[in-house]
Structure 1
């Protein structure tokens, strides 16, 4: 006799779970989906900073950047080749040019700061990107920022200030200044991405940046070349993979969500950085880090809840206009 099925069709199969997840995902608002992508991107960015800091003990920042970009290009190559020439077709060449130049500056300045500053400090200073991107979103994207987003961003900044404890008399170093300038450049890259993601495919966006930033760094990386150990080679490969994943997640976040809506979630990276500092470097944060981290998480979760509620109101036609 034939053996009957143990369960109803699709009730617990991988395909059924995938279908239910897809339906749930599609029911979310665009900003909520953008926030989910942003959370994953910030985790991968924290891991990326850790790898860069480890590599910076042996290799020059331009060598790290050059190899990182070319490895990322190698990861993208199969998809690029499969979709060629459409995978490299762009409708915004000038936007890509500006993005590549700003990304090169942001990476050089930011990577240098990560290598020379404590991980938590470079992460905190990097949060200036949130305020730059909020301002730039209003100026360039004409986004309307309501009281809820402003409140969430300010609450997150208060959490950062609890951790930084300004007024302790510490002077700003050249590396701190580099981190701030990197944040401004990264914010402009994010604004351009918001435009470009509406026109070009994610693989096209990532390939252009990986290729041309790598070419910009190549002369400097070759000049500062140092021998690469087996451990460094493994870390470089991991850096390329993590960086590729982080950029793809970031592209998706900006594709779905408004720039100013996902900006507060950059604060979550500090929580990741604190955990990594304990596990990798054996550095335990002060109690103020835990307090500030709790405030940051609360601000981010509030924004996520707000966007979810707003998405449901939009679906039912009861959302107020431009008040979020």
Structure 2
């Protein structure tokens, strides 16, 4: 199959990956109506860790040896993953699904900015301009000073910072480190966080609905992880990366169908600006890397 066919297949897989993440978020938000945060994090983390651990064992990835520096990067990445889970799921429990997802669309901009500040990457005036415009779009989404702005909006922004830390740590990992090993440590970290929150909560017995949502959430997130790995091995990054933003479309549809939520027009305008600037940043990063 030619590169065009590979990119088409990779774009479809990326879209399915984003659907998996959005469905996972939908399940978690629905669980938040019945269960405390720590219980949700622990149970979902345990299920996900069991599934990913099975994947790792099946493929013999547990035999891989990591260097000392890679262990440190995995630890830093896990810290980012745990913090992101806490802040994002806390926000998700208290704000519309599409709004929380829209804020996450700023990640390509924050990662580019952080890479320039901490990893020595070069930013040209085009990407700097895109980042500035993108952050203006974020302000339209969060609307500071508006009645809908609260501490959980800040939690969503803190989740962006945590995911940026996670992604920068991932960039520094040696290419020989298996992705699913790294994902497994993140999942175990989230499970431990849920267990740590447990003593301050009242955990409840699971009914059929909660059990179904937990299992579905673990399966959706595993499918999203697997698709994410497959995409990087099939298509050209520049051609496929913009399809990450289909996650916002999935969130809009699922938020409306599952919870009757639909963002205000100003939020949609802000999200459109963020998506456009993020896609442009992906394009410029690819163009610069080719020139180099």
Q: Does the alignment reach a TM-score above 0.5?
A: yes
**1:256-288 C-alpha deviation (Å, 9 max, x unpaired):** 9889x95x7765433332222222222344444
Relative to structure 1, the CA distance from residue 112 to residue 89 in structure 2 (aligned partners, 3 Å threshold; closer, same or farther) is: same
1: CA distance, partners of 2:79 / 2:195: 14
- Where does residue 159 of structure 2 map in the other structure? 182
Structure 2: distance between partners of 1:173 and 1:188 = 24
Question: Could you tell me how far apart the structure 1 residues matched to 2:146 and 2:173 are?
Answer: 42
Is 2:46 aligned against 1:104?
A: no
Structure 2: stretches of 5+ with no match in the other structure = none
Contact map agreement 1:267 1:296 (CA 8 A) in 2? no
Q: 2:119 aligns with which of 127, 141, 148?
A: 141
Asked if 2 retains the 8 angstrom alpha-carbon contact of 1:271 and 1:293, the reply is no
Task: Report 1:39-58 matches (<5 A).
Answer: 40-58=16-34
Distance 1:161 1:128 in 2: 11
Higher relative contact order (CA closer than 8 Å, sequence separation 6+): 2
Distance 1:147 1:87, change over 3 A: farther
The 5 A counterparts of 1:302-313 are: 310=287
User: Which of 192, 215, 225 is the equivalent residue of 1:215?
Assistant: 192
SS of equivalent to 2:35:
coil
Q: 1:149-188 residue pairs with structure 2 within 5 A?
A: 149-154=127-132, 156-164=134-142, 166=143, 169-170=146-147, 172-188=149-165
Query: Which of these two proteins has the greater Rg computed from alpha carbons?
Result: 1
1:148 is displaced (CA, Å) by 4.6
Structure 1 residues 229 and 265: alpha-carbon distance in aligned structure 2, compared to 1, 3 A threshold: same
Taking the TM superposition and a 5 Å limit, the aligned residue runs for 1:85-100 are: 86-87=62-63, 89-91=65-67, 92-100=70-78
1:128-157 per-residue CA deviation (whole Å, 9 max, x = no partner) reads 544432222113333233445445555555
**In 1, Cα distance between the equivalents of 2:107 and 2:276?**
19
Cα RMSD for the two superposed structures: 3.9
With normalisation by structure 2, the TM-score equals 0.78
**TM-score with structure 1 length normalisation?**
0.71
Structure 1, unpaired ranges of 5+: 1-19
